[in-house]
Amino acid sequence: MIVLVPLVVAVLAGLVALRRTRQEPRRLSNAYWLLAALMLLINALGSLGLLEYSPLFLVIGLLALLSPLLVLVLGVFLILNGVVTLRRERVSLANSLSLLAGLVIIVVVVGTLPAVFLGPLWLRAVWLALILAAGYLGFQFVAFLGYAALYPRLVRDHRADWVMVLGSGLRAGREVPPLLASRIRAGMAEFTRRGARLLIMSGGKGEDEQVPEAEAMAGWAIDHGADPAAVRREIESRNTEQNLRYSGALVRAEPEPVGPGLIVTSNYHVLRAAILARKVGLDAQAAGAPTAGYYWPSAMIREYVAILSEHRVVHAVLLLVLAVPLPVLLLLTGW
């Protein structure tokens, strides 16, 4: 019976993870529960001898052996992607994130052996802290990516009485660019598929724009077949949180009661939009519109950094707890 304890624990963790995810899909902490349940299940099956010769066990072992090479390949891919992004988009820190991430990965991987075996004690301690910190951030990023991929599938068939499309900037001060057109097109499709009553365009007027984004978006939508009577315009917001707050006020101002809604944005922005909706108390899930493949990696890294910054104190404390004690012990003992 004792050998069944790990399996019972894994099943219980899985049930808790599934219950939490079904009750509120907009929590990133669901990712940690699901990952923990999966790891507990793998451990339990291994303790029962069920994974010893299974394809899953072999795949996990192979990935573990190849992980340094896979990380190196990831670094090269991110560098190449960053170069492509900077060639096609304007040069900025946001568009450089995949390039910078790739360079950091290459430096850490290539520099590990010389630092550990040839460097002085203080360098080994610093490098150990860097590797531990990178491991923590990498785990967080894997959890974020995995749940960002899972979340849209969890809410695909949720009811929506209204659909809100988030603005993303205009071209030449008044024209809807391709990325924003993709969002509007997806919003119109979701509006029809879910039988919604309101189609809200959300976006204020930037300093370099001649008209509010919502006005240009509404015009584009009506020109492409949207019902003018269903379209609403939110023209005051300057960021995503304001998009959600001000559009929520529009919904509540409707003469007839309106139920839950749907936020439509670019696919890389879906999870953070959903998390922000929960934060501001807006009863809405989120769905994504397609984005150019080359743009996706930098955009996802930017979203990940933004989500980390929402809980910067917690992550800073966890980084200190995980990355500092062992290097300090190394310095004190001279290992």
Q: Say what the pLDDT of residue 14 is.
A: 92
pLDDT tens-place string over residues 244-290: 999 999 999 988 888 999 999 999 999 999 999 999 999 999 999 99
The mean per-residue pLDDT over the stretch 204-209 comes to 87
Angle between the N-to-C axes of helices 325-333 and 121-154, in degrees from 0 to 180, rounded to the nearest 10: 160
Q: Say what the pLDDT of residue 57 is.
A: 58
Q: Which residues face 263 on adjacent strands?
A: 164, 286
CA–CA distance, 279 with 273 (Å, rounded to integer)? 10
Superfamily for domain range 162-291:
HUPs (3.40.50.620)
Statement: residue 63 has pLDDT above 60: no
Residue 184 · residue 68 · CB < 8 Å:
no
The CA-CA-CA angle for residues 49, 54, 55, to 5°, reads 155
Residue 70 pLDDT level (bands cut at 50, 70, 90):
low
Beginning with the edge strand found earlier in the chain, give each strand of the sheet holding 198-202 in spatial order.
231-234, 198-202, 162-166, 261-266, 284-289
**Across 41-50, 169-178, 217-226, least confident range:** 41-50
Residue 222 pLDDT level (bands cut at 50, 70, 90):
very high
Statement: residue 167 has pLDDT above 80: yes
Q: Say what the pLDDT of residue 3 is.
A: 61
Boundaries of CATH 3.40.50.620 in the chain? Answer: 162-291
Pairing between β-strand 261-266 and β-strand 162-166 as defined by DSSP bridges: parallel
Which tokens sit at 154? 């969890």
Q: Say what the pLDDT of residue 71 is.
A: 76
More confident residue, 329 or 201: 201
Mean pLDDT for all residues in the chain: 88
Residue 158 · residue 259 · CB < 8 Å:
no
Phi and psi torsions of 34, nearest 5°: -65, -40
The mean per-residue pLDDT over the stretch 222-227 comes to 96
Q: Say what the pLDDT of residue 204 is.
A: 93
More confident residue, 289 or 123: 289
Statement: residue 100 has pLDDT above 60: yes
Statement: residue 68 has pLDDT above 70: no
- Tokens 């899972």 belong to which residue? 150
Q: Say what the pLDDT of residue 125 is.
A: 87
pLDDT > 90 fraction of the chain, expressed in percent and rounded: 53
Number of Cβ within 10 Å of residue 301's Cβ equals: 21
Among residues 124, 113, 111, which one has the least CA distance to residue 330?
124
Statement: residue 62 has pLDDT above 60: no
Q: Say what the pLDDT of residue 117 is.
A: 75
Among residues 261, 288, 12, which one has the least CA distance to residue 150?
288
Residue 59 pLDDT level (bands cut at 50, 70, 90):
low
b/e for 112-149, b at 16 or more Cβ within 10 A?
Answer: eeebeeeeeeeebbbbbbbbbbbebbeebbebbeebbe
CA–CA distance, 234 with 217 (Å, rounded to integer)? 11
Q: Which residues face 162 on adjacent strands?
A: 198, 261
Q: Say what the pLDDT of residue 58 is.
A: 60
CA–CA distance, 288 with 268 (Å, rounded to integer)? 7
The mean per-residue pLDDT over the stretch 28-55 comes to 79
Q: Say what the pLDDT of residue 227 is.
A: 95
Report CA 138 to chain centroid distance, whole Å.
13
Statement: residue 187 has pLDDT above 60: yes
